[in-house]
Amino acid sequence: MKKSKVLVLMLALVLSLSLLFGGSADARKVDFVAIVTGGTGGVYYPLGGALAQIISNKVANVSASAQSGNASVANCNIVAKEDAETAFVQNNVADSAYNGIGPWKGRALKNLRAIASLYPETIQIVARAETGIKTIADIKGKRIAVGDKGSGTEFDTRNILTSHGITYDMIKPDYVDYSVAASRLKDDQDDMLFKTAGFPASAIIDLTMSKKTNFVSLSPEAVKKLTAKFPFYVSMTIPANTYKGQSEPVQTIAMMAIWVTHEKVSEKLVYEMTKVLYEKTPMLYRAKKDLESGAEILAKVHQQGKDVTLDTALDGITIPFHAGAEKYYKEKGLMK
């Protein structure tokens, strides 16, 4: 057989195999997507893991994975450096990062883009009952878990203390993740913790099951001052009996947890990820009777997942949306 005929037969065989097993090499190319979350004791971690599974199961040729991170401030930096495709962050932190405020003064992260607003994140302030701490004014000289350095919790802690005329020089700050903070309260190593997350939070549930605690409310004056100075904060009440021993409602503030990316992630990919979050689409390898939206699946994973809805997808977002997310929201009539 002539060499040219052999070559033709080989090319035909390659073409036949490619059609049999899924088409061209480009069609089989897999995009890897990271979702950077927070500590394992918070809400970001379980919701991020579930969202990664949803994307992997519902978006063709995409493999998504959730990664534990150091929360909002660090997550903004990671995404802006393009070390990860997406992350969960607080809307107030994203606003500061994009506009070059605070830690980002002189180095604004202008490539940050929003995908969706997810759920309210509430600032929860919990003290060991035996310390006698009942108000923010009681914490002077106390050992306070203010949040991990570079976290949204620590960002909020500073804002709250400043609004009460308290500086870090007046307390003994402990820069630890909230899961570690809960353990330190249980072991009497810290007196109080701040935690910014959806409620109920597993770390605080665990703490209240083994230790008598006081949940500290913010005064109406403090809430008014904070919401006036920082428009991304809203007044929030933690209902009574959310946690063991918490018999009264707790007055505090909240912001929104949002899903962000950077501008170089493809429009098609972000569009498809946004779509499967809100629409009833089939699993790639299951029957259509299993149709569920990503939000419906998240609602089964954690109570805060119930707040992930298309109606609130734009809430609290002050940075530009990614072109792929914007395309989807325009199709749904949420944007012009």
Give the closest residue to 159 by CA, choosing from 78, 232, 74. 232
Percent of the chain with pLDDT over 90: 64
Q: Which domains, and CATH codes, for the chain?
A: 29-119+257-331 (3.40.190.10), 121-256 (3.40.190.10)
pLDDT at 152: 76
Residue 129 CB-half CA count within 13 A: 10
pLDDT at 105: 93
Chain segment 253-275, per-residue pLDDT in tens: 998 999 999 999 999 999 999 99
- Structure tokens belonging to residue 130: 């035996």
**Range list of β-strands (E), the chain:** 31-36, 62-67, 86-90, 112-128, 143-145, 172-174, 192-197, 213-215, 234-238, 250-262
User: How do strand 62-67 and strand 86-90 relate by DSSP bridges?
Assistant: unpaired
pLDDT at 28: 58
Residue 211 banded pLDDT, cuts 50, 70, 90: very high
pLDDT at 24: 41
pTM exceeding the 0.75 threshold for the entire prediction: no
pLDDT at 71: 76
The letter for the amino acid at 183 is S
pLDDT at 245: 93
pLDDT at 287: 58
pLDDT at 15 over 70: no
Cα separation of 109 and 98, whole Å?
5
Cα separation of 198 and 196, whole Å?
7
- Structure tokens belonging to residue 15: 């073409």
Between the CA atoms of 153, 154, 157 and 161, what dihedral angle is there, to the nearest 10 degrees? Answer: 180
Give the closest residue to 152 by CA, choosing from 123, 193, 112, 111. 123
Percent of the chain with pLDDT over 70: 90
Cα separation of 30 and 334, whole Å?
31
Cα separation of 260 and 35, whole Å?
9
Chain segment 102-147, per-residue pLDDT in tens: 889 999 999 999 999 999 889 999 999 999 999 999 999 999 999 9
Mean of pLDDT over the chain: 88
